[in-house]
């Protein structure tokens, strides 16, 4: 084993080295991400437009394109200390198994009960809701990681938490539902009869097993119609990327301590928050012309928003109650095939990442789920951690890049985000182990039909 005695297996920052501010990559972007727009008027959203839906301080963060560093309040840092700093691990065993000259590192965000990076933003959003004197928040959850993280954060600050959980996940993932309930959240399968938009969707599509876009609409409707309640979202929004910048800042600080400069940084991309957070400080250096890196976003071939979507204003939700966002999108009616097991199923992508990708500052790759689970299995067997299917998209491409290094003989340094653990995804692992996992790639015709439903926005073809 080629253990390098100068670099530990795990690089842990000291608690005192944990970042004291989030880094806002928008401050260093010359071309800023396009603003959210009001779906009724097409005008850019103002603070007042967003107030009925979101918490005040989070709106300020959402609209802030200029402040480079945003201090992390002490109460949030206090909570972060329970599970952060998270380790940056050198994948020595994986390197050896691959026989690659590449050096592979992963930043592991699965070391908390919610099992993913989502807690980093959940605790921040719950804190600001509490600060504002609100009673509670609503949200949607697909596979359940976000709902779990938010339940933990709300119970810590004594807030009510109402989660609309996509119906098929509610039925297929009862254990995650029970974690949420243990933390005091109420969990409703979506679409439900409890909202107007839910009843409308049920009438139009009887027997539907739901979608993220539909659960978002229900959560927003409930937030705006309940006094002292706001809606919070676990990805896609710029405020969430901001909170997740703690991942990248810790990664950079750990690498800097050992004088390591990555060549390639890889992350899985659903709504883009973990990837955006991981790459932010490195992208900042690239934008300021101080350093160069390759960034690779990895998405499922069954939900390929960056690689096959269009860059356009679109609805964020099926019920069309949210602001419009300019992003790479598959259309708000797009729902990945039912055999897709690997998460990352949102139809759009963070407008920050969409803009960076559009400018050619980031690459994207779509991978099929059977190859993703092959990578997950290979990683689990040598590195010990059972990865979440979402995270395994990043593992897949990290392995592919390391194998390319083997061909060319280049000893590149690869860093990837290991966003979480897969203990609640064992039905998907079971399918894979039984040889019953299949791949589905949407046809161009399916995508065109979905693009035809994009909203008409002034100034857009």
Ligand X SMILES: *Cc1c(COP(=O)(O)O)cnc(C)c1O
Residues binding ligand X (CB under 6 A): 116, 118, 145, 235, 268-274, 343-344, 388, 390-391, 419-420
What's the rounded Cα separation, in Å, for the pair 386 and 258?
27
Min separation Cβ 424 and ligand X, Å: 10
Are 170 and 187 a contacting pair, CB within 8 Å?
A: yes
Min separation Cβ 427 and ligand X, Å: 16
User: How many residues in total does the chain contain?
Assistant: 461
Min separation Cβ 419 and ligand X, Å: 3
* H-run or E-run covering 451: helix 444-451
Residue whose C-beta lies closest to ligand X: 420
Residue with Cβ nearer ligand X (122 or 405): 122
72: three-class secondary structure by DSSP: coil
Min separation Cβ 328 and ligand X, Å: 13
Are 296 and 362 a contacting pair, CB within 8 Å?
A: yes
Express the helix, strand and coil content of the chain in percent, nearest 5 each. 40, 15, 40
Measure Cα distances from 260 to 255, 256, 263 in Å. 5, 6, 10
* The pairing of beta strand 186-190 with beta strand 294-300: unpaired
- Closest to 86 in 3D by CA, of 233, 224, 230, 278: 278
The conformation of residue 374, written as its DSSP 8-state character, comes to H
What's the rounded Cα separation, in Å, for the pair 343 and 108?
18
Residue with Cβ nearer ligand X (427 or 453): 427
Min separation Cβ 100 and ligand X, Å: 24
Min separation Cβ 118 and ligand X, Å: 5
Residue with Cβ nearer ligand X (138 or 392): 392
Min separation Cβ 140 and ligand X, Å: 12
* H-run or E-run covering 355: helix 351-358
User: Which tokens is 133 given?
Assistant: 């004197």
Are 439 and 369 a contacting pair, CB within 8 Å?
A: yes
- Closest to 120 in 3D by CA, of 22, 223, 14, 252: 22
Are 106 and 250 a contacting pair, CB within 8 Å?
A: no
Are 445 and 136 a contacting pair, CB within 8 Å?
A: no
Min separation Cβ 233 and ligand X, Å: 10
Min separation Cβ 420 and ligand X, Å: 3
What's the rounded Cα separation, in Å, for the pair 191 and 86?
36
């Amino acid at each position: 084993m080629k253990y390098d005695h100068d670099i530990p297996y795990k690089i842990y920052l000291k608690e005192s080295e944990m970042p004291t501010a989030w880094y806002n990559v928008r401050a260093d972007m010359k071309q800023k991400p396009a603003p959210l727009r009001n779906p009724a008027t097409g005008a850019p959203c103002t603070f007042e437009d967003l107030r009925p839906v979101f918490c005040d301080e989070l709106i300020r963060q959402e609209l802030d394109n200029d402040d480079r560093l945003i201090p992390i309040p002490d109460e949030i840092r206090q909570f972060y200390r329970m599970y952060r700093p998270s380790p940056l691990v050198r994948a020595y065993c994986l390197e050896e198994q691959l026989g690659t000259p590449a050096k592979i590192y992963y930043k592991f965000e699965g070391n908390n009960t919610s099992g993913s990076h989502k807690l980093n933003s959940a605790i921040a959003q719950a804190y600001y809701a509490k600060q504002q004197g609100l009673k509670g928040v609503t949200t949607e959850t697909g596979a359940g990681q976000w709902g779990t993280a938010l339940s933990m954060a709300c119970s810590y600050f004594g807030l009510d938490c109402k989660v609309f959980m996509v119906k098929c996940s509610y039925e297929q993932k009862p254990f995650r539902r029970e974690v949420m309930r243990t933390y005091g959240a109420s969990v409703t399968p979506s679409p439900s009869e409890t909202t107007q938009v839910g009843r409308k969707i049920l009438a139009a599509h009887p027997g539907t097993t739901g979608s993220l876009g539909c659960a978002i609409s229900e959560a927003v409707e409930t937030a705006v119609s309940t006094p002292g309640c706001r809606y919070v979202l676990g990805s896609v929004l710029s405020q969430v990327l901001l909170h997740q910048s703690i991942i990248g800042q810790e990664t950079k600080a750990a690498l800097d301590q050992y004088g390591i400069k990555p060549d390639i940084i890889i992350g899985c991309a659903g709504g883009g928050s973990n990837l955006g957070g991981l790459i932010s400080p490195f992208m900042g250096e690239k934008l300021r012309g101080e350093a160069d890196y390759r960034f690779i976003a990895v998405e499922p071939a069954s939900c390929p928003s960056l690689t096959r979507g269009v860059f356009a204003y679109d609805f964020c939700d099926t019920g069309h109650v949210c602001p419009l966002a300019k992003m790479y999108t598959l259309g708000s009616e797009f729902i990945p095939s039912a055999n897709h097991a690997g998460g990352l199923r949102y139809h759009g992508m963070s407008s920050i990442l969409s803009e960076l990708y559009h400018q050619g500052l980031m690459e994207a790759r779509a991978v099929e789920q059977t190859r993703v689970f092959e990578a997950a299995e290979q990683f689990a067997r040598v590195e010990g951690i059972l990865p979440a299917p979402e995270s395994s998209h990043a593992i897949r491409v990290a392995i592919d890049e390391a194998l390319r290094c083997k061909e060319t003989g280049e000893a590149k340094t690869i860093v990837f985000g290991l966003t979480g653990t897969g203990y609640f995804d064992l039905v998907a692992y079971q399918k894979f182990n039984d040889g019953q996992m299949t791949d589905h790639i949407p046809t161009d015709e399916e995508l065109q039909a979905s693009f035809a439903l994009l909203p008409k926005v002034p100034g857009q073809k």
